[in-house]
Amino acid sequence: RFVWSATNQLLFSCAALLGCRTPGESSVQASVPGVRPAPVSGYRVVATLPHSVSSFTEGFFYLNGLFYESTGLKGHSELRVTFPKTGDLKLKAGLSPDLFGEGIVDVGRYIYQWTWQAHRGIIYSNRTLQQVGSFTYSGEGWGMTRDDSDIITSDGSATLSFRNPASFTVTRQITVRDAGQPVPMLNELEYIKGSIYANVWHTNRIARISPSDGRLLEWIDLSGLEPDAEERDPEAVLNGIAYDQKGDRMFVTGKLWKHIYQIEVVPPT
Ligand code: DDQ
Ligand code: CA
């Protein structure tokens, strides 16, 4: 009787400690949500499309057969609409030279574009790219995307903010964590089929994130995709994810890259 209760207690306190293993259970740790690092997937290139080498990509999405792209660097920042197959420009709007373009999102008939450190955003008609308004916000502007109800933004930290599309006010925030550790430097974003995809600045990886709690669900390692980019310029990093919902196609590119790639994610075997 003493032996039974001692064993029982041992098992109990052991299960409370994360590293504990009990016979018949290969890993107690595996059953604790969020403690194991997310699996790392690879990729397959489905198609290679042209990209303007002078575009310092900071925002990127696909809408009704066109790519929308926001580019950064003061004096070079633009909002560009291009044809995917040829890369030809359909429309563009230039930003004032004191602004550094960052994330973009489509909201009804409008495009919102925000900027890195000026706390200033611009509202365009998405048909003409005429400026129809502006807005302000606090903090830095990095990536932007949206789900069915909210705009989702990054600011260079591990925190993602959900914002009301009409007022741009923050209604909810999540901290992105892999195995419990915050993942900072979240940059360009895309909401795809219930997950938030995020570039991590100066890495070859895209994080797939749970919108409910910020948990890292999967890493996608895109090493080797545009091999000469960072030899040409150390800031020519992977940044830009777009999704064609109707065609279920995922596109990625980078700052000053020569190509946009349609990719398929290949899970680990
Ligand atoms: N951000 O995308 C991470 C928010 C900003 C990127 C800033 C890149 C700096 C480039 C500096 C070049 C100076 C000529
Ligand atoms: Ca995007």
Q: What is the CA radius of gyration of the chain?
A: 21
**Which of 73, 77, 155, 189 to mutate to test ligand 1, by most ligand atoms within 8 A of the CB atom?**
73
Percent of the chain with pLDDT over 90: 86
Structure-token match 């925000």, residue found? 114
- Which residue from 187, 157, 177 is spatially nearest to 254, judged by alpha carbons? 187
Taking the whole predicted model, whether its pTM rises above 0.90 is answered as no
Ligand 1: centre distance to CA 26 (Å): 46
Residue with the smallest CA separation from ligand 1 atom 5 is: 116
Instruction: Report residue 33's pLDDT band, with 50, 70 and 90 as the boundaries.
Output: low
CA distance 22 to 8: 12
Ligand 1: centre distance to CA 100 (Å): 9
Ligand nearest to the CA of 56: 1
DSSP 8-class letter at 215: B
- How deeply is 101 buried, as exposed, middle or buried, from its count of CB atoms within 10 A (0-12, 13-18, 19+)? buried
Ligand nearest to the CA of 240: 2
pLDDT above 60 for 156: yes
Q: How many secondary structure helices (H) and strands (E) does the chain include?
A: 2, 22
Which residue has better confidence, 23 or 229? 229
Q: Which residues line ligand 1 (CB under 6 A)?
A: 58, 72, 116, 142, 187, 201, 235
**Mean pLDDT, residues 220-239:** 96
**Mean pLDDT, residues 147-171:** 98
Atom number, ligand 1, closest to the C-alpha of residue 116: 4
What is the per-residue pLDDT for 51? 98
Position 50: which residue type? P
Q: What residues have CB less than 8 Å from 154, skipping those under 6 apart? A: 103, 142, 143, 144, 160, 161, 186, 187, 189, 198
pLDDT above 90 for 69: yes
